[in-house]
Structure 1
């Protein structure tokens, strides 16, 4: 894999590396959403959400369009939703594995 592609992937994952950004993307997987609904669902300061949305917009991960006085955000493409789904599956598998390991350890060494 060329170094440039590795670097680009690393930058993508850095962009995704913030809990508010992940929350935004998870919500937008359900479809376009106005800022007010994102703000209500995520419960962060408006300025913080605005900063995180700007990062996602600059990276080309989300797009924004104005509908009257409302700004609507949506995922820039379906691949982002697929990535979020893959991350969820990976984490579910990891956590399930950790749960099994914990159960095995507790069975071997009861309290």
Structure 2
């Protein structure tokens, strides 16, 4: 029996559920990167970056290309970059809504303080 699609989606999102992996995918959304280029941008130890890249490779989200001793990574699909853009749009909306709620709460508090 095959795995239900919802379960596969959950596994996919678990793969994305790490800040280093998200940052790597964001960098690769711009262009191909060598591991050495990503290290200062991601801010983790080389071994940790290597582990996270291995997770992304196993999930078929990134592919590698070797040029001499340099390994370059790129996205397997531009749809990964699109998914990150959609996530940013959703989060922007959520944060805007929270900012609006906070402003409303502060206004109510200020009004209450003026009345007391």
Q: Under a length normalisation based on structure 1, what TM-score does the superposition of the two structures give? A: 0.95
Distance 1:49 1:59 in 2: 15
How many residue pairs were aligned?
110
**Alpha-carbon distance in structure 1 between the residues aligned to 2:40 and 2:32:** 15
Deviations 1:33-83 (A, max 9, x none): 000011111110000000000000000001111011110001110110010
Higher CA-based Rg: 2
> How far does the alpha carbon of each residue in 1:3-54 deviate from its partner, in whole angstroms, 9 at most, with x for none?
6110110000000000000000011110100000111111100000000000
Structure 1 unaligned regions, length at least 5: none
Gaps of 5+ in 2: none
Provide runs of 4+ in structure 1 moved above 6 Å.
Answer: none
How many Å separate the matches in 2 of 1:95 and 1:103? 12
- Indicate the residue corresponding to 2:19 in structure 1: 19
TM normalised by structure 2 equals 0.91
